[in-house]
A and B are shown apart, each in its own frame.
Chain A
């Protein structure tokens, strides 16, 4: 099973929910941190990292002896990663999205594949549970290949919990695709609601069962609840706007460890998710 924890807006509590849910389940769990620009689940779970592998993506190499400066490669590249100026060709590997278009259109077969390191993936364990995290190298912008590679490490028969990046663009879609359930963490503010609605649109297109967790409940307004009701999306959990929770988080600790009464709430959340995976129309799950 794969549960992807996403949000639209950043800083709503994806990592809080992902790490506390993982810890509450306690066994047969793999946490996969796909927030590769700043993976931080490890701060809360303290995994033992055992292996690290680079993620490589192809970039164009130009054979200037074969090149006739026809500019076809430059014209097809949406990202400006190749420039033909006079009788010279220059490439900008950092802008390349590794689509292979330049290789395909070159009539002289002057373009071949070189390697560029995008980042790395670390794997390890937390007691008998598994841990994976990706990290994008500084200066690189293309994270989906790293996220897709992490997803290939999802284990059958385990609960794979994905800590997704914020937003609704390619990296998030990469972290949702293939998930059995998407848990959308939001905060009850106009900003939270605005980005939640974008995330919901994304999940609907991907046709994945989904539900909402409201973090910092009690602040802001009722906009998120009204939206959820109108859209028929279950609210599966509310985490209150509580100074003690903020303090626990800021020390890199888990809510369920310091405030054990929350463990049942996270297990309840998991139960609701299971029911919704089996029957997305299960009115008994959520809909408070």
Chain B
């Protein structure tokens, strides 16, 4: 399964970026092999409006089925929900550990945004 994890750096030992729409990078990770693709999110991070919506559309395009991140706002959540991408919020620590916890099933999916827009 492919999952998306917001990341402050370009590899699995980077910290999870708590922001979704304005995360530095988004890693698209194969949970079986831990192979990953780096999505540079700089364009969204600096966008004027709708960063979460754009980021959600881009991970949907990469066929990620799940998103692990810190905070997810209402517009991003609505887009992810429409795209059938499940969301795990309040994720922190190192990306590799977040994936490990996910594989162990040590997570819970959220059914709503956990922050207001433009928090």
Interface, chain A (partner B; CB < 8 A): 74, 77-81, 83-86, 88, 90, 92, 95
Contacts and interface: CB of A to CB of B under 8 A. Distances in A.
Contacts of B56: 83, 85
Given A79-B50, A80-B51, A81-B50, A74 B75 contact: no
A80 B54 contact: yes
Contacts of B84: 86
Nearest to A97: B49
Given A83-B53, A88-B82, A88-B83, 14 more contacts: A78-B49, A79-B50, A80-B47, A80-B49, A80-B54, A83-B54, A83-B57, A83-B79, A85-B56, A85-B57, A86-B60, A90-B82, A95-B49, A95-B50
A80 B82 contact: no
A123 B82 CA distance: 43
Interface of B: 47-51, 53-54, 56-57, 60-61, 75, 78-79, 82-84
A117 to B, nearest CB: 19
Contacts of A84: 57
A79 B48 CA distance: 7
Dominant SS at the B interface? helix
26 contacts: A74-B57, A77-B50, A78-B49, A79-B48, A79-B49, A79-B50, A80-B47, A80-B51, A80-B54, A80-B75, A83-B53, A83-B56, A83-B79, A84-B57, A85-B56, A85-B61, A85-B79, A86-B60, A86-B83, A88-B83, A90-B79, A92-B50, A92-B75, A92-B78, A95-B50, A95-B53
B49 A85 contact: no
Nearest to A74: B57
Q: Most chain-B Cβ atoms within 10 A of its Cβ — which of A77, A79, A88, A90?
A: A90
Contact of A85 (B47, B51, B75, B83): B83
User: Taking each of A85, A90, A95, which has the highest tally of chain B beta carbons within 10 Å of its own beta carbon?
Assistant: A85
A80 B83 contact: no
Contact of A78 (B48, B51, B53): B48
Contacts of B60: 85-86
Nearest to A77: B50
A92 B50 CA distance: 9
Nearest to A79: B49
A92 B75 CA distance: 8
B82 to A, nearest CB: 5
